[in-house]
């Protein structure tokens, strides 16, 4: 029996370093086979339910294309068109969908609700539940980021990666991308720098866990309010979202939510990623971004379209990592 089969994929911390290594190996293998046109029908006749409470381009399509390439089928479900909208519980939804198919995946980013909802589904589901992004974690994104850095750099020990993005817990916005990155990258011996203005700290438990991971695997974790310190000598920079001044009032990311200028973010508009800041980094620095990027406010076109940007390779790897996780958790008999 596979050590992966039937497990939930909510947080990469639930998987050992060796298990994450296996996910990467399978991702690289699937990427090679995709490029060569080698069929990979590992999930033939399997059905996966994809529940989205919010919009998506990369996540939805990497899962849908991915399972089709594995010989299975995805059912896209907009939560607003399900009985969830009338209050049907996570328990009932999970039990019913478990009886219809082979896996359930869900994106629910609302602060204080998303992770709880996924864990409640996982408690009742008899098939794997996969996290397509919640308020706390975005494991598929972090895994694709890791794959991309391994692909470009190889051994990641002592590689300086600067995550120039963090939302304060008090701001009630999803912190899933920086949390997943700051927890995962030290497990590969990377020197992780988390930079943000004062008052935008990640929760203490995240930094404590990231530092424990670094101590175990030989990486480091530095938290700074100094943006220049983050860029200086960095091999990889991941600056995101400081320029996104317009946000909805509730912290929700649902379609049609009222948009207002976010004064708190606007106060930090100078944190935009510029060519001048990139010049402080290593000469071969790589610019990464989970996307979508706010080209007006958070990064100069000359950076995101420039020679240091690897954002499309990073997005492409969402497909291969998604296929690897589905194959391991749903297949692997
Ligand atoms: N990076 C990411 O999750 O993209 P989507 O929101 O388009 O899925």
Same domain, 166 and 300: yes
**In ligand 1, which atom is closest to the CA atom of 55?**
6
pLDDT at residue 314 in the model: 98
Is residue 34 located within the same domain as residue 132? yes
Q: Does 173 share its domain with 72? A: no
47/171: higher pLDDT: 47
Going by pLDDT thresholds of 50, 70 and 90, the confidence category of residue 297 is: confident
Centre of ligand 1 from the C-alpha of residue 58, in Å: 5
Q: Which of 65, 179, 292, 322 to mutate to test the pocket of ligand 1 (most atoms within 8 A of CB)?
A: 292
CA-closest candidate to residue 179, choices 4, 10, 53, 310: 10
Q: What is the dihedral of CA 254, 128, 14, 186, to 10 degrees?
A: -60
Mean pLDDT across the chain, nearest whole number? 92
* pLDDT for position 296: 74
Residues 285 and 325 in one domain: no
Taking alpha carbons only, the member of 271, 308, 323, 326 closest to residue 147 is 323
Compute the distance from residue 33 Cα to the ligand 1 centre, in Å: 24
User: What CA–CA distance (Å, rounded) separates 196 from 179?
Assistant: 13
Domain of residue 244 covers 141-313
Mean pLDDT over residues 264-287, rounded?
90
pLDDT at residue 184 in the model:
98
Q: What is the rounded distance in angstroms from the CA atom of residue 294 to the CA atom of residue 298?
A: 5
Residues 322 and 221 both lie in one domain: no
In a domain, 1, yes or no: no
**Which amino acid residue places its CA nearest to atom 7 of ligand 1?**
57
255: confidence class by pLDDT, cuts 50, 70, 90: very low
Q: pLDDT tens, 188-208?
A: 999 999 999 888 889 999 999
Nearest-CA residue for atom 1 of ligand 1: 290
Confidence at residue 82, expressed as pLDDT on a 0 to 100 scale: 97
Q: What integer pLDDT is reported at residue 317 of this predicted model?
A: 98
Q: How many domains does the chain have?
A: 2
- For residues 39 and 131, state if they share a domain: yes
Examine residue 91 and say whether the peptide bond preceding it is cis (omega within 30 degrees of 0).
Answer: no
Residue 67 counted as domain residue:
yes
**Nearest atom, ligand 1, residue 315 CA:** 1
Q: Report DSSP state, residue 39.
A: -
* CA 244 to centroid of ligand 1, rounded, Å: 16
For residue 299, give the 3-state DSSP assignment: strand
- The SS3 assignment for 200 reads coil
The answer to the question of residue 206 being in a domain is yes
| Residue 235 covered by a domain | yes
154 and 78, same domain (yes or no): no
Asked if the model's pLDDT at residue 249 lies above 50, the reply is: no
Atom of ligand 1 nearest to the CA of 133: 3
Residue 2 lies in a domain: no
CATH of the domain at 257: 3.40.50.1370
pLDDT surpassing 90 at residue 169 = no
Q: Is the dihedral of CA 308, 313, 315, 321 positive or negative?
A: negative
pLDDT for 259: 56
User: Residue 333: is its pLDDT beyond 70?
Assistant: no
User: DSSP of 98-142, one letter per residue?
Assistant: HHHSSEEEEEE--TTTHHHHHHHHHHH-SS-EEEEEESS--HHHH
Q: How far is the CA of 195 from the centre of ligand 1 (A)?
A: 22
Domain check: are 59 and 196 in the same one?
no
Regarding whether 201 and 133 lie in a shared domain, the answer is no
- Which residues approach ligand 1 with their CB closer than 6 A? 56-59, 133, 141, 290-291
Distance CA 103, CA 77 (A): 13
* Residue 163 CA to ligand 1 centre (angstroms): 17
Residue whose CA is at the smallest distance from ligand 1 atom 6: 56
The predicted pLDDT at position 253 comes to 44
> Is the ipTM here above 0.90?
yes
Nearest-atom index, ligand 1, CA of 107:
8
Q: Is 284 helix (H, G, I), strand (E, B) or coil?
A: coil
319 and 291 within one domain = no
Let me know if residue 189 belongs to a domain. yes
Q: Mean pLDDT throughout 219-248? A: 84
Residue 5: inside a domain: no
| Helix boundaries (H) for the chain | 17-36, 58-69, 90-100, 114-124, 139-153, 176-184, 204-217, 227-231, 263-266, 275-278, 301-304, 311-330
- DSSP-based three-state secondary structure for 163: strand
pLDDT at 17 over 70: yes
pLDDT band of residue 175 (cuts 50, 70, 90) is confident
Residue 244 has pLDDT above 60, yes or no: no
Q: Same domain for 65 and 207?
A: no
Residue whose tokens read 């390439």: 69
DSSP-derived letter for residue 279 is T
Cα(52) to centroid(ligand 1), Å: 12
Whether 319 and 303 map to the same domain: the answer is no
Report the first-to-last Cα separation within the chain, whole angstroms: 6
Q: What percent of the chain has pLDDT over 90?
A: 81
- For the residues 91-96, what does the mean pLDDT come to? 98
Residue 207 located in a structural domain:
yes
Atom of ligand 1 lying closest to residue 290 CA: 1
């Amino acid at each position: 029996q596979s050590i992966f089969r039937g497990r939930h994929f909510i947080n990469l911390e639930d998987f050992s370093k060796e298990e994450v290594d296996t996910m990467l190996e399978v991702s690289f293998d699937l990427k090679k086979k995709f490029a060569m046109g080698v069929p990979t029908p590992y999930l033939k006749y399997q059905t996966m339910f994809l529940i989205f409470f919010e919009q998506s381009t990369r996540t939805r399509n990497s899962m849908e294309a991915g399972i089709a390439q594995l010989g299975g089928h995805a059912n896209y479900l907009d939560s607003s068109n399900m009985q969830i909208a009338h209050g049907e519980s996570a328990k009932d939804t999970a039990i019913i969908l478990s009886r219809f198919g082979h896996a359930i995946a869900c994106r629910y980013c609302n602060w204080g609700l998303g992770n709880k909802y996924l864990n409640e589904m996982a408690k009742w589901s008899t098939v794997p539940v996969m996290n397509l992004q919640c308020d706390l974690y975005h494991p598929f994104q972090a895994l694709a980021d890791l794959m991309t850095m391994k692909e470009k750099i190889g051994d990641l020990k002592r590689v300086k990666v600067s995550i120039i993005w963090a939302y304060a817990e008090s701001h009630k916005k999803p912190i899933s991308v920086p949390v997943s990155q700051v927890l995962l990258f030290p497990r590969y011996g990377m020197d992780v720098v988390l930079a943000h203005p004062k008052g935008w700290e990640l929760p203490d438990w995240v930094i404590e866990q990231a530092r424990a991971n670094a101590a175990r695997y030989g990486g480091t974790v530095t938290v700074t309010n100094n943006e220049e310190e983050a860029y200086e000598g960095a091999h990889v920079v991941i600056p995101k979202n400081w320029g996104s001044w317009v946000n909805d009032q509730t912290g929700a990311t649902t379609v049609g939510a009222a948009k207002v200028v976010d004064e708190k973010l606007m106060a930090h508009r100078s944190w935009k990623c510029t060519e001048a800041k990139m010049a402080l980094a290593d000469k071969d620095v790589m610019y990464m971004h989970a996307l979508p990027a706010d080209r007006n406010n958070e990064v100069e076109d000359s950076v995101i379209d420039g020679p240091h940007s690897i954002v499309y390779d990073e997005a492409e790897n969402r497909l291969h990592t998604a296929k690897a996780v589905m194959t391991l958790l749903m297949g692997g008999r």
